Chains A and B, each alone.
Chain A
């Protein structure tokens, strides 16, 4: 089984984001990690190949030079090699990202499955996997929590709110957007981390792909820090007095009860 996993290099969710200028941020001040949802994607791909006893997991990343660390992290989890499409900056439009992923994958081989995360935690776009699917004319389901493969069919489950679960079916090759619940991503061990450093990593410049960049794109105009709430007003007195006061404030002042 030939599996491609699309992985994004993103600032740590716990990192402080300092806005610089109109629409930039200080990316040298924060630690970067593999996009948390992409870990479920890598884990699932690696487990599939381990179970089958054959096949290959290829990590594909569209990202800046520094994204290599994220690709090595995915390789430490068990991916066999990587393809890095190099771009400047963090905010490449999702349509262009999907076209770059498509070109990189098609240059390399024929996928049976392409895994992605359900969304990237930096731009929170929820769409690259769908654009990739449309561009490659493949079926796609995202936010997948369970996957079974039988006779060239993928049977997947996703949650659609209120605890309701949908089971869907599609033919391979297909694209699967992974989310929490699909598996338990492994913590790579030291020897795996060392081994990952020697795995094959191919670099391609975005411009070398010869993509049509005249497609409709989104444009990031402005980035603003969201001010944190200030310290809470703490209730005083006995438990009953505190709760009474809280209920009074929520009812009379904030009118939310």
Chain B
């Protein structure tokens, strides 16, 4: 069932990426995203949605999350994005995924809900890391890096059924 929930997002990646793109471009709290080329913003979102299973379940070491999001943080810092808007966009993406699943009305039985609990665990694990590394990359680009700044996040293993 967890896979089914993930496939629902991957299968609707195009429509959902357009939707989130519109939300980010229309929200005054993420107005800096208006400077990105529409196609770039779309592709970035689509890349997450269309491979959600990979990002959540198969990138076990989370090495790619670290590389991708640190680089994203550095890039957006260089482009002059305010950090709180970047953090806001990460949270909006996570919320959009969860709202899409929640609104689809597919969580009716105890089994469905049990899988939803697993999905919440994996989603948060991924987006927590993404936000941590995007912030780390952003601060590195500004020349702000502390003692533990280069540490791998080493998230504890998640316990699911």
Query: Do the two chains bind?
Result: no
Q: Which residues of A contact B (CB under 8 A)?
A: none
